[in-house]
C-alpha cells in the first residue's frame, strides 16, 4: 500500500534569511531532507507539506523549495489570509505552483475572522479546533467547496499530558460527517491519548469517527512536527500500521488512499 502522511510541517533553522514569526516548542530545524529521512525510516512514501503558519505566516517559499528538491515526496499547501483583498489572486497564483494541492485557512477562536471567499476548485484545508460550530457553519455556507478538516476538528495538546476530556468535541465532529463536501484528517490522534505508547485508548473514539465519516473520507496523518513534544515521528506512524482494529483494506484507505483522492496527488519514489 502507498502511505501518505496528510500533514507535516517542515522548516529550516531560524535565520535572518528566513526569520520565524514565532518560536514554537519544536526542534530547531526539520528540513526537507530530514523529513524524507524520517519518512524513509518508517516506510512513509509521501506527505502533504503544510507550510508552517506559526513560523512563516503566509510565506510558503520554503515549502516551494522543498517540493522542488523532492518533487515525488511532497505536495504543498499554503495558508492564505481571507482578509487580504488580493486573496483571489494569491490563490490563482498558488494554483500554478508545481506540487501545490490546496490552501489552508485558520478559523480558530483566536483568528477573530470569518472567511467568506471559498470559491475555488482547490481543496480548502480548515483548522477550527475549539471552534467546531463556526467551522460547521463555514462548510454549510459553501456547499460547492471541498473542505479538508484539520486534526479531527479536535483541539490537540502541544505538550503532554492530554486534557482530561480530550474527545469532548467528538459528538460535533461526528455530526459534521453528514456534510458531503468535507473530508477529515485523522492527524495528531496519538497526542489525544492519556495512555503511553502505543496509545490504546485512541481506538474507541476513532472507531466512531471511521463509522461516521467512512474510511474513504478519513486521511491519516502525524502532524509532525507540531506533535513533536508529545510523540516522535515513529510513534505517530507505528500504531496505525500495527493495530488489529483495522483491516488491510481499511488501513490502505486511511493511510493513503483517501488522501490521494482528496488532494488528487500520489507520491512517486525515485
Give the model confidence (pLDDT) of 108-120 as tens digits: 665 555 555 555 6
Residue 270 has pLDDT above 70, yes or no: no
* Cell numbers at 105, concatenated: 485557512
* Cell numbers at 67, concatenated: 517540493
* Cell numbers at 26, concatenated: 519544536
Residue 157 has pLDDT above 90, yes or no: yes
Coil/strand/helix, residue 79: strand
Q: How confident is the model at residue 216 (pLDDT cuts 50, 70, 90)?
A: very high
pLDDT at res. 118: 52
CB contact at 8 A, 254 and 186: yes
pLDDT at res. 116: 59
Q: What is the pLDDT of residues 64-110, one digit of tens each?
A: 999 999 999 999 999 999 888 998 899 999 999 999 999 999 886 65
Q: How confident is the model at residue 30 (pLDDT cuts 50, 70, 90)?
A: very high
Coil/strand/helix, residue 268: coil
Instruction: For cell 482578509, name the residue.
Output: 83
pLDDT at res. 122: 87
pLDDT at res. 256: 98
HSE at residue 108, side-chain half, CA atoms within 13 A, is 12
Compute the residue count for the chain: 270
Average pLDDT over residues 196-213: 98
Average pLDDT over residues 25-51: 97
pLDDT at res. 119: 57
Is it true that the peptide bond before 171 is cis, omega within 30 degrees of 0? no
Amino acid at each position: 500500500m502507498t502511505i501518505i502522511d496528510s500533514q507535516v510541517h517542515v522548516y529550516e533553522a531560524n535565520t535572518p534569511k528566513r526569520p520565524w514569526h514565532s518560536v514554537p516548542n519544536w526542534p530547531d530545524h526539520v528540513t526537507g531532507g530530514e523529513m524524507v529521512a524520517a519518512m524513509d525510516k518508517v516506510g512513509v512514501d509521501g506527505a502533504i507539506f503544510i507550510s508552517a503558519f506559526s513560523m512563516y505566516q503566509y510565506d510558503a517559499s520554503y515549502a516551494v523549495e522543498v517540493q522542488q528538491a523532492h518533487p515525488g515526496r511532497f505536495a504543498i499547501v499554503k495558508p492564505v489570509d481571507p482578509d487580504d483583498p488580493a486573496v483571489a489572486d494569491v490563490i490563482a497564483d498558488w494554483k500554478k505552483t508545481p506540487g501545490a494541492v490546496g490552501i489552508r485557512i485558520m478559523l480558530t477562536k483566536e483568528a477573530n475572522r470569518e472567511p467568506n471567499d471559498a470559491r475555488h476548485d482547490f481543496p480548502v484545508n480548515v483548522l477550527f479546533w475549539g471552534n467546531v460550530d463556526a467551522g460547521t457553519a463555514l462548510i454549510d455556507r459553501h456547499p460547492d467547496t471541498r473542505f479538508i478538516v484539520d486534526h479531527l476538528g479536535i483541539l490537540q495538546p502541544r505538550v503532554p499530558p492530554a486534557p482530561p476530556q480530550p474527545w469532548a468535541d467528538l459528538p460535533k465532529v461526528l455530526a459534521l460527517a453528514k456534510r458531503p463536501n468535507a473530508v477529515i484528517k485523522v492527524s495528531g490522534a496519538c497526542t489525544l491519548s492519556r495512555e503511553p505508547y502505543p496509545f490504546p485508548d485512541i481506538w474507541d473514539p476513532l472507531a466512531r469517527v471511521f463509522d461516521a465519516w467512512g474510511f474513504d473520507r478519513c486521511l491519516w496523518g502525524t502532524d509532525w512536527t507540531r506533535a513533536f513534544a508529545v510523540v516522535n515521528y515513529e510513534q505517530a506512524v507505528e500504531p496505525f500500521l500495527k493495530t488489529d482494529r483495522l483491516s488491510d483494506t481499511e488501513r490502505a484507505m486511511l493511510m493513503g488512499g483517501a488522501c490521494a483522492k482528496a488532494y488528487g496527488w500520489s507520491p512517486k519514489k525515485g
